[in-house]
Structure 1
Amino acid sequence: MNDGAIRAALDRHWRAADADDFTAEHEIYHADAVLEYPQSGERLRSRERIEESRRVQPNAKRFTIRRIIGGGDLWITEFILTYDGAPSFVVSIMEFRDGLVARETQYFSDRFDPGPSRAHLVEPIGEIPSS
């Protein structure tokens, strides 16, 4: 699968995730895919378990994609995942095999207020949801 086809698959995946279309969201994964959440120490093995874990997640969620970069078998998506109105900043690292995700690792970070010591050095990066 070429980079354009993988990028199109990623766009479908994230649109489906935002729409709670669990079937379409998980078409991108190999049957034996592995998903890891290092911050919680969790590992899910198989597309079936990954999908079920998301189906039973009770919170209302929204995905706002900030950017997708990658090539070949390695793709990274930066996005804001809003659970019940509270934003988390997420990086998803997807490793592809034969055009499907074989492994994904997601890193989460909560929003925080800027440090006053560097206020004179920075500029705002745009609309960031507040908690």
Structure 2
Amino acid sequence: MATNDFHAVEAVLAEDFVLEWPQSKERIRGATNFARLNTEYPAQGPWVFTVNRLVGGGNEAVSDVFVTDGALHARAISFFTVERGKITRMVEFWPEPYDAPFDRTQFVERIE
């Protein structure tokens, strides 16, 4: 992904790969559709990915990644299923930051 050559990513995706975005209620079927969607996404510059955390075990992994194209700044939490050395399924969440619902500064510290 870091190379922004999204068709190269197809090599690690299974033929029957499925990606689900529950928040927007969308499903992408197939490695080629995944690559084309990422290639055609209206980005302001090359995508830069910063892995905050990666956890895995057995045939499952979870990543917490910061993503930016210079204008958009987002965080993606992705759940991966791997079978026979290929990613078969991803479920991905793109949480939006929000302000605290009440003044709790006496209990917390700000994360910048």
Which digits, 9 at most, give the CA deviation of each residue in 1:47-100, with x for residues without a partner?
111111111112133211100001111100001122442322210100111111
TM score, norm. by length of structure 1: 0.73
| RMSD over aligned Cα atoms | 1.9
Q: How far is the alpha carbon of 1:113 from its aligned partner?
A: 4.0
Structure ranking higher in helix proportion: 1
- Which residue does the alignment assign to 1:118? 104
Aligned mates of 1:24, 1:123 — CA distance in 2: 41
Q: Percent identity?
A: 26
How does 1:82-97 map onto structure 2 within 5 Å?
82-97=68-83
Aligned mates of 1:84, 1:98 — CA distance in 2: 36
- Which residue does the alignment assign to 1:66? 52
Q: How far is the alpha carbon of 1:114 from its aligned partner?
A: 4.7
SS at match of 2:106: helix
Unaligned runs of at least 5 residues, structure 2: none
TM score, norm. by length of structure 2: 0.84
SS at match of 1:27: helix
Q: How far is the alpha carbon of 1:44 from its aligned partner?
A: 0.9
Query: Which structure's relative contact order is higher, taking Cα pairs within 8 Å and 6+ residues apart?
Result: 2
Contact kept, 8 Å, 2:7 with 2:32, in 1: the verdict is: no
- Does residue 23 of structure 2 align to residue 36 of structure 1? no
Aligned mates of 1:115, 1:62 — CA distance in 2: 31
Partner AA of 1:79 in structure 2: V
Q: How far is the alpha carbon of 1:103 from its aligned partner?
A: 0.4
Q: How many residues align?
A: 110
Match of 2:35 among 48, 51, 54: 51
SS at match of 1:121: coil
- Which residue does the alignment assign to 2:3? 19
